[in-house]
Structure 1
Amino acid sequence: METRERARLSAYWRSIAREFTPSAPPSSLLVTHLLPERPAFVRAVGEVTNLRAVLPKPKSVHAEAKREIEARFAVDELSRERFADPETALGYLETRAAGEPVVLLDVGGYFAPSLDELCEKFSGTVLGVVEDTENGHKRYAERDRLPCPVVSVARSPLKEPEDFLVGQSVVFSTEALLRGRGDILHGRPALVLGFGKLGSSIARLLHAKGVHVTVYDIDPVRRAQALSQGFGVARDRDAALKSAGLVLCATGALSLRGEDFTELKNGAFVATVTSSEDELELSGLPDGYRKTTAADHITRYETTGHYFYLMNGGEAVNFLHGASVGPFIFLVQAEIIAGVHALAGGGLDATLHEISAADRSRIAATWLHYYNER
């Protein structure tokens, strides 16, 4: 990042911190993608909270960004297993923030399985959770009850620019991998599983590139939306799998079970927009499939009479090229900090919440002050 850009970004975060620093800053644990632009956001979290540990998403760690963060904050390994077992999760929280009020900043619902234990037995106080993603939002929303407030920014209007641009980056990376092995998108019918904000962005960009796109979503409302926008909509998901040359998984949940892979058209490519643990049941792939490297970041799975290709090992394909969405990411990152402010202020009941429209307006106005060039 150029010196001028660093200065502008620092000024932006100083303004956000002035607006949303709690009167009594809590401690925090931060789950995050550690991409090249992320240290500025991490430092901002450190300004408004006592940041006790950064937990990088394991498949999206930029080495230089990690070194920069490690110089100022504790960086710990993140895994689903660490927080799936309540006792293990509780022990970890005690080592980092014993006796303190703490906010858990989440990306993907990592704290959801152990949240009851953390709220009931932690020696300090869990003030609440701020969740960034749609699949994480669902993990908290599907619980019968919540033991503390959860502020979700996953469905915020401020996240829409990020979602649109992530869709573009997914298509860019998918096309780059195909071209890297002498192939192209055109002539390869695409099936997009999931027509939410990411899936719809992917479908629109593929269509703009001249690709024949079919959409499937479990929600009939979204299927109707896809049809109204001119996309083919699969009546039968399994039949659509058999005819697609490219399958893009954008459900934010389990898209393909083990048995689904056997239904793929020979030579089909599969790519995802989130981690394989969320979208793909690779462990359920039937016995007999052999795995070989077909090209950089493309794995060939083959058994007698059938083969398909998996991009980036099933992890989010756009992270191969930085997954950058430019300065628009700073909008939702600021909303995460506003979520900290809301939780630290108290008064929220133990349900799902969103940031107020007034706070979103303040964030957008601040962002425009620094990033609207006209």
Structure 2
Amino acid sequence: MALSVVLESTIRNIDLAPQGQLKIEWVQGHMPVLNQLRKEFEQELPFKGKRVVVCLHLEAKTAYLAKVIQAGGAEVTVVASNPLSTQDDVVAALVKGGIGAHAWHGATAEEYHQHIHQALDFKPDYIIDDGGDLVSTIHRERRELISQVKGGAEETTTGILRLKAMEQNGELGFPMIAVNDAQMKYLFDNRYGTGQSVWDGIMRTTNLVVAGKTVVVAGYGWCGKGVAMRAKGLGARVIVCEVDAIKANEAWMDGFQVMPMIEAATRGDFFVTVTGDKDVIRGEHFEVMKNGAILANAGHFDVEVNKDDLKALASETRIVRPNIEEFKLADGRKLFLLAEGRLVNLAAGDGHPAEVMDMTFALQALSLYALATQAEPLPVKVYPVPHEADLRVACLKLEALGLQIDDLSEEQKSYLSNWVHG
């Protein structure tokens, strides 16, 4: 397929822009918090004269975040954080709207790496990252940009783990805000967004019933809680595998079975990994799985299901449906891997609902706003989202829902802050 280079962009087909624009308009109608911030940014222009590179899953909701940042006066370039989640029509619509882009669906590892470098050639003042690929590339291969970048925000648990390791080792070169750790992010995006979008991706890909099946969820963080909760709601029997004793107790008290993966592997019909670690499901687990078991990953990188072990055990492989690869083992059993072991909710679906990403992307926008409006440059470290920004998103969301809450009286505030009162 012929490629187009438009407005310092490398994309697949600019002619797809009209259908991509329709997708963006649809989510815009369901993102009231971002809509309010856009109005404010258009008045204030907090990013005027600044360059921003956004590395996220390039679908409609991300596209609208990029447009909101652009409305604040920034020049914006986007690049994919996952080659299978890129929607070429949405990317084309962004380019038509004056936003640079370097991405296409199904990019090879080499193309993916090249796209990141092309985006960084834009020489950003600020970045929004997902999983740490921008930050990692800057620090390993593009160190001349460290003094150019004034700060950024990170979307994911995985990315924050990498950032904190860099900070601890004295290797972080500019301040970063840990958006994933904001309450309005992990309580809603990770739990309700992941819970719904993972099962949306699995069900639309397999067209199989979940009720009556046994689902094994690896990891009981906020994302794992959401995946397990929705599986239970769909009528599945749920097993949780954990390495954290506290989280394992929580899963048990929430009504789920808890056991090691080697035991759960013999029982599961669906397996979903949500840990952020590698080799969560590997050779010894594949060897005891039942025929027809379906494997999916909802962690950031495609390392949680060990694909090398799976290939080594397989006598034959084939694609049986879009985003489903069959691995036929020597004894005749068949195991099925969804979306190449990449994020199933985005590689095989449309990702989190717009109403959920409205809150998360509002936090991204406000984090970028906090960085851009600082009177003095921040010391280099990983920062939490400002509490005022977290609370602002919560209040705007309630307002959009038409909900009101109570206020404390001065007497009540005094009571809560005074140890003398009984």
Q: What band does the TM-score fall into relative to the shorter chain?
A: 0.7 to 0.9
Over 3 Å counting, the alpha-carbon distance change for 1:3 and 1:114 in structure 2 is closer
* 2:257 equivalent among 224, 232, 244: 232
- Aligned equivalents of 1:53, 1:258: Cα separation in 2: 41
Question: Which structure would you say has the larger Rg?
Answer: 2
Alignment correspondent of 1:313? 340
Question: 1:230-263: CA deviations, max 9, x gaps?
Answer: 11111x2222223222111111232334554334
Tell me if 1:38 matches 2:68. Answer: no
Alignment correspondent of 1:364? 394
SS of residue paired to 2:149: strand
SS of residue paired to 1:45: helix
Over 3 Å counting, the alpha-carbon distance change for 1:20 and 1:157 in structure 2 is farther
1:239 maps to a residue whose letter is E
Unmatched runs of 5 consecutive residues or more in structure 2? 1-24, 405-422
Tell me if 1:325 matches 2:353. Answer: yes
Question: 1:7-37: CA deviations, max 9, x gaps?
Answer: 9688424235269853765321111222233
Contact 1:339 / 1:355 at 8 angstroms: preserved in 2?
yes
Contact 1:80 / 1:110 at 8 angstroms: preserved in 2?
no
* 1:116 equivalent among 127, 139, 143: 139
- Aligned equivalents of 1:215, 1:115: Cα separation in 2: 37
Over 3 Å counting, the alpha-carbon distance change for 1:298 and 1:94 in structure 2 is closer
Alignment correspondent of 1:147? 173
Contact 2:291 / 2:334 at 8 angstroms: preserved in 1?
yes
Contact 2:47 / 2:69 at 8 angstroms: preserved in 1?
no
Alignment correspondent of 1:12? 36
Contact 1:20 / 1:341 at 8 angstroms: preserved in 2?
no
Q: TM-score, normalization: structure 1?
A: 0.85
- Aligned equivalents of 1:170, 1:83: Cα separation in 2: 24
Alignment correspondent of 2:50? 26
1:316 maps to a residue whose letter is L
Over 3 Å counting, the alpha-carbon distance change for 1:20 and 1:272 in structure 2 is farther
Alignment correspondent of 2:380? 350
Deviation at 1:184, TM superposition (A): 2.2
Contact 1:15 / 1:366 at 8 angstroms: preserved in 2?
no
Tell me if 1:270 matches 2:295. Answer: yes
1:74 maps to a residue whose letter is G
Alignment correspondent of 2:99? 73
SS of residue paired to 1:154: helix
SS of residue paired to 2:295: strand
State, as a whole percentage, how many aligned pairs show the same letter. Answer: 18
* 2:149 equivalent among 93, 115, 126: 126
* 2:265 equivalent among 241, 244, 254: 241
SS of residue paired to 1:29: strand
SS of residue paired to 1:190: strand
Contact 2:302 / 2:340 at 8 angstroms: preserved in 1?
no
Over 3 Å counting, the alpha-carbon distance change for 1:302 and 1:20 in structure 2 is farther
* 1:301 equivalent among 327, 332, 340: 327
Contact 1:83 / 1:113 at 8 angstroms: preserved in 2?
no
- Aligned equivalents of 1:6, 1:167: Cα separation in 2: 19
Over 3 Å counting, the alpha-carbon distance change for 1:185 and 1:51 in structure 2 is same
Alignment correspondent of 1:169? 197
- Aligned equivalents of 2:43, 2:245: Cα separation in 1: 41
Alignment correspondent of 1:341? 369
- Aligned equivalents of 1:7, 1:283: Cα separation in 2: 41
Over 3 Å counting, the alpha-carbon distance change for 1:40 and 1:250 in structure 2 is same
> Which segment drifts farther, 352-361 or 251-260?
251-260
Deviation at 1:130, TM superposition (A): 0.7
Over 3 Å counting, the alpha-carbon distance change for 1:213 and 1:11 in structure 2 is closer
Q: How many residues of Structure 1 are paired with residues of Structure 2 in the alignment?
A: 364
Deviation at 1:361, TM superposition (A): 1.8
Tell me if 1:292 matches 2:292. Answer: no
> Which segment drifts farther, 270-279 or 165-174?
270-279
Over 3 Å counting, the alpha-carbon distance change for 1:121 and 1:177 in structure 2 is closer
